[in-house]
Amino acid sequence: MDLTPELAELIARRFGVLGDATRLRLLNLMHASGEASVSELVEATGSSQANVSKHLALLLRERMVARRREGSRAFYRIADPTLMKLCDEVCGAVRDQLRELSTLVEAAETAGIPS
């Protein structure tokens, strides 16, 4: 793949959108439930309605999620299935690193090395 400056900018923007813990939690909640209303996401995250709506608007604008209206309620779902593949890969790598670190800490404690 030829990574032109324009393509690099688009990719960096996408990673920038994913570089926020609240947005990652929202995506994870939508992934787990398939679809969630704003009020469900507010309750699950403990964030304010305004904060959740701000993050959802950005995810919607970047076409990472889709919205469905039902009366006055809005329901969101993941629109780009590659997002969860990417998140699964990153989460798996982080879990592996944490396991390795835990193993090193246990080995150090067993050897009597103070922490």
Q: What is the dihedral of CA 86, 88, 90, 93, to 10 degrees?
A: -140
Please choose, from the candidates 29, 14, 8, the residue with its C-alpha nearest in 3D space to the C-alpha of residue 82.
Answer: 14
Q: Which three-class secondary structure state does DSSP give residue 24?
A: helix
Cβ partners under 8 Å of residue 20, min gap 6: 55
For the stretch 45-101, pLDDT in tens is: 999 999 999 999 999 999 999 999 999 999 999 998 888 788 778 877 888 888 888
Could you tell me the two tokens for 64? Answer: 């990472």
